[in-house]
Amino acid sequence: MKFSEELKKYFLDEKFDSALKVSIADKKEPLVESISLLKELACHRRVIHIGAVDHKDSIDRKIQKGNWLHQHFMDVAQECIGIDINKEGIEYLKEHYGIEKIYYADVLQDDLSFLGSARWDIAFLPDVLEHIPDVFSFLQKFHSRFKDHCEYFALTVPNAFCLRNIVNAFKGIEKINSDHKYWFTPYTTGKLLSMAGFDVKEVHYVMRGLSKSKKKLEDRVKNIFFRAKPCLRDTIVAFCKF
């Protein structure tokens, strides 16, 4: 889904409407897992992956199941480096898996000389933004630090309109990772990124996981439903230019 130039004027506060109606439906959106779309964006590109380690306790399990994201980036990218503040996890990956190109650094404060002088194609920030208290300040500083190093930027955030949230709301409950500070919508994601200096090119709806079984009627019905209603999928992917 692409935002119109007219809508981008609202992102940048050039226009105002106290009851702005924004189309968030794009029935042409293919039904894919987040890993598949992120791999497609990374393919044959020079990739920077922020938050590459994941939780140390889940590394072995994810690698064994084939859903550790950084491995997928390494498999398809022309070149790939990771950045993380999980020093223990970085050392574990080096010691147990021989993965060397993950660097310990705070992307807003620490020296980034390991990026070198050549320009990178794309920086990824998956499943991180919802954990950060001051999202706008972070994005603004991130843009300032990486705009001379990188061409494009992609992130994933939890979709406030996902079907699970709607169902739980009818039950009178909210089900959430207790460390999350935010839910996001397509509009609020686009506005935050635009105000921080990014040019938002596309927004996609994806699923964190899809059933591969075609035998279970429940899974088949879910897949048909999410194909018809992309805006109710659980994750938003934003693709931007620095």
* Strand, coil or helix: 152: strand
Q: Could you state, in order of their start, the residue ranges of all structural domains in the chain?
A: 5-15+25-241
Label residue 167 by pLDDT band (50, 70, 90). very high
* Strand, coil or helix: 150: strand
Q: What pLDDT, on a 0 to 100 scale, did the predictor assign at position 216?
A: 74
The answer to whether 158 touches 235, Cβ cutoff 8 Å, is yes
Q: What pLDDT, on a 0 to 100 scale, did the predictor assign at position 175?
A: 95
Q: Are strands 120-126 and 102-104 parallel, antiparallel or unpaired?
A: unpaired
Average pLDDT, stretch 173-181?
95
Q: What pLDDT, on a 0 to 100 scale, did the predictor assign at position 224?
A: 85
The whole-angstrom separation of Cα 93 and Cα 206 is 28
SS3 per-residue string spanning 190-225: HHHHHHCCCEEEEEEEEECCCCCCCCCHHHHHHHHH
The answer to whether 33 touches 208, Cβ cutoff 8 Å, is yes
What are the tens digits of pLDDT across the range 204-229?
999 987 766 566 777 778 888 898 99
Q: Domain 5-15+25-241 belongs to what topology?
A: Rossmann fold (3.40.50)
**Residues paired with residue 40 on neighbouring β-strands, in sequence order:** none
Buried b (16+ CB within 10 A) or exposed e, 45-60: bbbbbbbbbbeeeebe
Verdict on whether the full-model pTM lies above 0.75: yes
The whole-angstrom separation of Cα 124 and Cα 128 is 10
Residues near 80 by Cβ (< 8 Å), separated by ≥ 6?
42, 46, 47, 49, 70, 73, 74, 101
Neighbours of 232 (CB within 10 A): 19
Read off the tokens for 234: 């659980």
Neighbours of 100 (CB within 10 A): 11
What are the tens digits of pLDDT across the range 54-102?
887 888 899 998 899 999 999 999 999 999 999 999 999 999 999 999 9
